[in-house]
Chains A and B, each alone.
Chain A
Amino acid sequence: MSDGKPLVEMVSINKSFGGVQAVDDVSLEVLPGQVVGLLGHNGAGKSTLIKILAGAYRADSGTIRIDGQEIRIANPNDARAHGIETIYQNLALADNLDAAGNLFLGREKRWLGVFCDRRWMRAETAQICGQINPRFTNLTAPVRNLSGGQRQSIAIARAIYFNAKLLIMDEPTAALGPGETRQVKELIQTLKARGVGVLLISHDIEDVFEVADDLVVMAGGRVVGRRKTHEVTRNEILSLIILGSPGDASPPRAP
């Protein structure tokens, strides 16, 4: 896990909106096959940070490196071209399209340059979605008719299919039931085993503790701490989130 060089490095990233410094000199690394949990209050800057990495926002300053090489991310296509895939909280699915339409949105297989190769896209979708979720069979219905877990499967399939190096997941379990949440956690393990780096944003500390290798806490636009999951207590993380420092918000504990 810690053998290789960092997969993604963000160095001294700054971003402000008007007078508000949303991200303030933040540096963050993810190794191949590492799951990093990004924690913090609303407005702590975690959303802005991942949107910069995903190409939805442009950083005011700072550098981003992938596999040691400095890259420029000006839009979502740049990010995807470098193997950074994002699953947004709302999944960003077009509800009126079917699974294949969503999986390939913006990257459709064409024939004669203008037409959609629907048959090919559906076959590919059946295969990849079948791997992720064997019960996923409803390939022709608009995705609005699908369950939360199936919709999540499409979003994850999109990342796996296009060979993501780093997968950003923004609140992946927010809209899911317990069974589906377990499925997503299994998927994260699968991705990890394939050497994909995962950046996990969540409000739910328990979820993150269960799957993340490292925890990064943000407050007020800055990174206030990075800890190994197995070396840290929930109270320490909570105090980082709430106080912005490892200060003692809890009774002392035996090590």
Chain B
Amino acid sequence: MIQSTWSGGGITAAWRRLLLINKAVLFAIVLAIALSFASPYFFTGANASALLEQSVVMVIVALGYTLILAMGEIDLSLGGIIALAGFVMAKLMAEAGISYEVALVAGIGMGAVCGALNATLVSTFELPPFIVTLATGALFTGLLYIISNLVPISDLPVDFIAIGQARWAGVPLPVLIVTPIVVGFYLLASQSVFGVHVIAQGGNPEAVRVAGINVTRLRLKVYALAGACYGVGAVLLTARSASAQIAAGSDLLLVVITAVVIGGTPLLGGKANMVGTVFGCLIIGMINNGLNLLGMNANYQIVVQGLLILFALLIDVQSAKLLLGMDRRRLQRLRREGRS
């Protein structure tokens, strides 16, 4: 359906290329139009605001996660880190009476430390990230169970809860917090030397090693940065629900991977598309939001998510093939012209 619009006549190759690379943007627009027709409530200011608010945690976590996928690795401990960071923060505020600013920094720091631990284990023991983070995910969740005794914390300071509810000129505060972070990650991935190294590592780790780049340090930075993003996610999640829940963030892993891959960062790394990631999150947000508006049973939403991952992977493979084909044709044409 979507492919037919790409190959439709009249669009120049450059445009087609742009759309293939930013297919998440295109997909998001198509979805928004479709949902506007399907439900009269979708295209309203209130719903747009709610959609952004719901997507904000996913966006911030997915930005960090994009770096991990881009370097060709994976982090399965995401849910554990978010819940643990949220809980540590809540406990500091509610039980130790520490000011919310300090607790907030501690929570974000906690995320970074957990990420750094993952990176160190992967680098030191040369284990696949898949295995390491599967184990540490269980470790973090276990720690959470011990310190929480499975009881959520809800008497949090008002100032802290306000983070999730304040608005500025009608825009929710979390959206304002996330905007500069999006810009920062965009610059990091596409303009910085660090970003080049991350992408190169995802393309050919051997090339990065013989180029003399310190991969241990690179991995540490990537995982710690992603961990800090999980920490910020935990802050927003805890503030919004006005409590630290045991299961906070447990459903985020699958959703975040889906969003990043739909956004055009391949599961096997070698590319980082931060703008795509944001739109990938919006797509998932819109699908959930739309299914809610249309009154669909919540259980079906998970099925839709699963189908969406498959669809995203399919599109990913197909568009990569299309792009490669376009490059080949262009090269051949250039060669022909060069010879004649």
Contact = CB atoms under 8 A, between A and B. Distances in A.
B212 A75 contact: yes
Interface in A128-155: 135, 137-138, 141, 145
A202 interface: no
B69 to A, nearest CB: 13
A211 interface: no
Contact of A114 (B193, B200, B208, B209): B193
Interface string B185-215: 0010001111111011011101111111100
B271 interface: yes
A101 interface: yes
Count chain B CB atoms within 10 A of each CB in A80, A90, A106, A108 and give the residue with the most.
A106
B327 A145 contact: yes
Interface in B204-260: 204, 206-213
Nearest to A147: B331
A246 interface: no
A93 interface: yes
B200 A96 contact: yes
Interface in A87-113: 88, 90, 92-97, 101-102, 105-108, 110
A86 interface: yes
A1 interface: no
B199 A97 contact: yes
A116 B91 CA distance: 42
A75 B191 CA distance: 27
Interface string B45-73: 00000000000000000000000000000
B264 interface: no
Given A77-B212, A106-B212, A138-B331, A96 B196 contact: no
Nearest to B201: A94
A92 B204 CA distance: 8
Given A76-B212, A88-B210, A115-B192, A101 B338 contact: no
A86 B212 CA distance: 12
B193 A97 contact: no
Nearest to A76: B212
A116 B196 contact: yes
B210 A76 contact: yes
B191 to A, nearest CB: 5
B192 to A, nearest CB: 5
Contacts of B210: 54, 56, 76, 86, 88, 92
A108 B196 contact: yes
A114 B191 CA distance: 8
B66 to A, nearest CB: 15
Given A116-B192, A116-B193, A116-B196, A105 B208 contact: yes
Given A116-B196, A135-B338, A141-B327, A92 B212 contact: no
Interface string A226-242: 00000000000000000
Nearest to B328: A145
Given A80-B212, A106-B212, A90 B206 contact: yes
Given A106-B212, A114-B192, A116-B192, A93 B207 contact: yes
Contact of B200 (A55, A76, A101): A101
Interface string B146-180: 00000000000000000000000000000000000
15 contacts: A76-B211, A77-B212, A92-B207, A94-B199, A95-B270, A101-B196, A105-B213, A106-B197, A106-B211, A107-B211, A114-B192, A115-B191, A115-B193, A116-B196, A145-B327
Given A94-B208, A101-B200, 15 more contacts: A54-B210, A75-B212, A93-B204, A94-B199, A95-B203, A96-B199, A102-B207, A107-B211, A108-B196, A114-B192, A114-B194, A115-B187, A115-B191, A141-B331, A145-B324
Interface of B: 187, 191-197, 199-200, 202-204, 206-213, 270-271, 324, 327-328, 331, 334, 338
